[in-house]
A = this chain, B = another copy of it.
């Protein structure tokens, strides 16, 4: 972005907008943005295109997850001499896919060998990419990684609560239709009682009633009842068929109060939030495909099995001490460079001797990491499709497993399938992580069987990743408190001498790969500006 392209010489459009925003609030800012011709929907400025690295300038990148890989790729393109140190023996970091034959050893020493059949997998980390996660989508496109729709919302998936509907799972389509119908009926009543005359004028009241009838599937008397209109939404008791098949029978709506009491309305917006709206994608074949595709561009730069133990700097350069995890007996080694982009998660970085300012060090130490558990379960057949007509999507439950995720790929295939059998945060995640992997899998199967009886006979094998036991992250993602953000975030993101940090922890899009990549792009853009202004 051309920083002198604004209305006032010397002040960039973004800086101008920021001033307006601070002085006059969001509305003024929004109108100003429109006036200035901003796309108004993203802070993403398009694919990176850094150029003109001073000859011979070297940059050491720590970590080969999405942040580190994208930094390495963009910096080499700009002309820098780049090297990447990565702890694992594979690229991707948390952009991770577990497939049959993979082995994974967690903290505490438990090793799991994944027993999934060929082509089946689970993503223990991120599993979806919204359409507006520009940087991730850009890399997928640029390097030819095919994307397929991630089925976030499935109208035939379930909501389940041990405390509602006698524990019987309810279909999304039933709850949504009845909730919308109930709202529409109540709002219509209020309008007809003239209770909203101060908010909605006469002509608009008619429109509102018309809208409620249409949107809520009400009858002509503005009531939500068993008829074709409501059955078109929730499904029929006997569906219309062919020839002389039995006549269609409308289904009976459930009770609106039951929905209120169940709290199931919470799940109805699972696809409304910007981060989960359609279009939302997954890479074909597993989430790690994008990281692998970026890695393929920089494979010659990456040194696996390198455990960083110390990061030092002075005014001439950076020295990183590390151990070759395959030859720890060989002792410490060193890598030197002019600059360093460090993408090591704060949970690990806070345990390493890092020479940075006290404000950055305080920031590094200020962010606890979220606990999270994911469990992948292989079943003998895709019974969720065959028996329950659930093709992809998510069933939500108040059981500790939180949800069951049905695979968004190979719909209708006759073979085996792998479910996401649990995706757990918070206290339940700590409890799961404290158990052995086998116990986690067994628990996920036992809980899941309360929703799907097929678990009992169809389950084959599973794998369970408790993120607090993942050796290279000790947690799932940086769990910033509002207070910590206020005090430490900007300090964390500064270029500190010759070191700059990047990763989802250094972004306002926490836990998403997009946060890692946009953080990385922002960091190296500033670093490049610093380097070229010095040169």
Contacts and interface: CB of A to CB of B under 8 A. Distances in A.
B173 A392 contact: no
A299 interface: no
A187 interface: yes
B414 A141 contact: yes
Most buried by B among A43, A132, A199: A43
A244 interface: yes
- State the number of copies, please: 2
A392 B280 CA distance: 11
A287 to B, nearest CB: 16
Interface string A175-214: 0110110010011011001011001100010011001001
A131 interface: yes
Contacts of A101: none
A21 interface: yes
- Size class of A's contact patch? 35 or more
B249 A29 contact: yes
A196 B204 contact: no
Interface of A: 14, 17-18, 21, 26-27, 29-30, 33, 40-44, 131-132, 137, 140-141, 146-149, 151, 153-156, 173, 176-177, 179-180, 183, 186-187, 189-190, 193, 195-196, 199-200, 204, 207-208, 211, 214-215, 226, 231-252, 257, 260-261, 265-266, 268-269, 272-275, 277-279, 281, 389-393, 408, 411-412, 414, 490, 493-494, 502, 506-509, 515-523, 526
Given A238-B43, A246-B17, A274-B235, A281 B411 contact: yes
Given A30-B249, A141-B412, A279 B243 contact: no
A147 B208 CA distance: 39
A140 B517 CA distance: 40
Contacts of A275: 232
A151 B278 contact: yes
Contacts of A195: 189-190, 193, 195-196
